[in-house]
């Protein structure tokens, strides 16, 4: 009888954070590609762009003038998806046609005054300012809103309309879908096992050492066993931490270090400014018992075979379940083998 080989045979992997599966079809990685290719993007940008709405000293569409900031700058989004004063819903609705108001706010976090630098091209000292801004904004917005979503859409491929290095912060008074799923799954796991799910998962990954990309004293970056995107990463602190604003000083330093190292590997993979959507998930800001939560960051990059070939979620993935061709272990090995010297800085 044929023996199962996870690098050759299709199989499903379970994601304990969401309760969902991913179909892995590693044999399909050998097929020739005749599908869509993205146009190569000209990555050359000036240090300062007088027409950029995010550069220091420039005027935004709202008429506001950005200060001459030296590191990070945060401001309320001029076109927010959430508003703090949404009125209540007063009409009766069917159980099948439910509607509820949501209140919140949206902010923009400029990572650097430099128009031409992304996170892996910044120094660890500069990235540490970004980490501190994440923590400060989380603590402040968490006083008012239940959920604070820190995230970055990097690159035009991910729908980012502003090339200046920046992230976003959306805060709202409800748990969004992904946070809701993770909240329930982590709560159930703690009840059944007595330990946080992601701390147990991290212990498994550290013991196996198959999917770890980079690590330091405080953090570990892995291609998760259940990864959906080709070179997806999960970033985890080694200690039990609920939220970004709970990180100790040394953990913040180490976070800046590991971000630079892992994101440099991303850029080096196809020698391009690697696009992705990333975001932090941590405990909600409420009065509930949240010891089941473990802080973590997801990185979802779409590039599949080169700087111009990307992964699309279509067909079976939209109607059935997510599917990938490259195994998590294969992706991890490719990222592990890359240099931590950014390709633009090589002699």
Q: What is the pLDDT along the chain (347 residues), one digit of tens a residue?
A: 788 877 778 999 999 999 999 999 987 755 544 445 455 555 689 999 999 999 999 999 999 999 999 999 999 999 999 999 999 988 767 888 888 999 999 999 999 999 999 999 999 999 999 999 999 999 999 999 999 999 999 988 887 878 999 999 999 999 999 999 999 999 999 999 999 999 999 999 999 999 999 999 999 999 999 999 999 999 999 999 999 999 999 999 999 999 999 999 999 999 999 999 999 999 999 988 999 999 999 999 999 988 888 888 899 999 999 999 999 999 999 999 999 999 999 86
- Count, residues in the chain: 347
Q: What is the widest separation between alpha-carbon atoms in the chain?
A: 71
Q: Where are the alpha helices (DSSP H) in the chain?
A: 124-141, 177-193, 197-208, 249-270, 316-319, 328-336
Of these residues, 73, 129, 164, 166, which one is catalytic?
Answer: 166
Could you tell me where the beta strands, DSSP code E, fall in the chain? 11-15, 20-24, 73-76, 104-110, 147-154, 166-172, 212-215, 219-222, 233-237, 276-281, 296-300, 303-306, 309-310, 322-324
Smallest CA-to-CA distance from 327 within 12, 3, 4 is with 12
Does 9 qualify as catalytic in the annotation? no
Smallest CA-to-CA distance from 76 within 106, 111, 103 is with 106
Write the CA distances from 41 to 205, 273, 275, 309, integer angstroms: 36, 9, 11, 13
Q: Whole-angstrom Cα distance, residue 85 to residue 105? A: 10
Q: How many CB atoms lie within 10 A of CB 55?
A: 20
Q: Whole-angstrom Cα distance, residue 259 to residue 257? A: 6
Within 13 Å of residue 326, how many CA atoms lie on the same side as its CB? 23
Smallest CA-to-CA distance from 308 within 44, 33, 119, 116 is with 33
Per-residue pLDDT, 50: 96
Q: Whole-angstrom Cα distance, residue 235 to residue 48? A: 32
**Token output for 35:** 């599908």
Query: Domains plus CATH for the chain?
Result: 45-345 (3.30.428.10)
Q: How many CB atoms lie within 10 A of CB 134?
A: 25
Q: Determine the 3-state secondary structure of 154 from DSSP.
A: strand
Smallest CA-to-CA distance from 56 within 321, 64, 48 is with 48
pTM above 0.85, yes or no: yes
Residue 266: phi, psi to the nearest 5?
-55, -55
Instruction: Give the pairing of strands 147-154 and 276-281.
Output: antiparallel
The packing angle between helices 124-141 and 249-270, to 10°, is 120
């Amino acid at each position: 009888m044929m023996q199962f080989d996870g690098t050759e045979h299709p199989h499903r992997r379970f994601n304990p954070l969401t309760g969902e599966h991913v179909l892995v079809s590693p044999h399909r990685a050998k097929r020739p590609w005749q599908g869509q290719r993205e146009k190569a993007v000209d990555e050359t940008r000036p240090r300062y762009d007088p027409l950029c709405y995010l550069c220091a000293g420039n005027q935004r569409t709202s008429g506001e003038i950005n200060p001459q900031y030296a590191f990070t700058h945060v401001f309320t989004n001029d076109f927010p998806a959430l508003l703090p004063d949404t009125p209540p819903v007063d009409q009766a609705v069917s159980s099948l046609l439910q509607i509820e108001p949501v209140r919140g706010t949206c902010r923009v976090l400029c990572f650097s005054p430099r128009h031409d630098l992304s996170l892996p091209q910044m120094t660890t000292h500069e990235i540490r300012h970004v980490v501190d801004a994440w923590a400060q904004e989380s603590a402040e917005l968490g006083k008012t809103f239940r959920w604070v979503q820190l995230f970055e859409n990097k690159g035009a491929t991910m729908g980012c309309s502003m090339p200046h290095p920046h992230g976003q912060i959306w805060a709202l008074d409800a748990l969004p879908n992904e946070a809701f799923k993770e909240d329930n799954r982590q709560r159930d796991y703690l009840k059944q096992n007595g330990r946080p799910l992601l701390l147990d998962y991290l212990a498994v990954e550290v013991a196996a050492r198959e999917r770890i990309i980079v690590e330091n004293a405080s953090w570990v970056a892995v291609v998760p066993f259940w990864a959906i995107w080709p070179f997806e990463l999960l970033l985890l602190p080694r200690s039990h931490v609920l939220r970004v604003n709970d990180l100790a000083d040394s953990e913040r330093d180490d976070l800046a270090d590991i971000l630079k190292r892992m994101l440099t590997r991303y850029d080096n993979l196809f020698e391009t400014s690697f696009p992705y959507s990333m975001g932090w998930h941590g405990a909600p800001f409420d009065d509930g018992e949240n010891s089941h939560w473990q802080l973590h960051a997801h990185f979802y990059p779409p590039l599949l075979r080169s700087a111009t070939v990307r992964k699309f979620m279509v067909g079976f993935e939209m109607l059935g379940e997510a599917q990938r061709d490259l195994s998590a272990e294969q992706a991890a090995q490719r990222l592990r083998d890359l240099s931590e010297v950014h390709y633009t800085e090589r002699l």
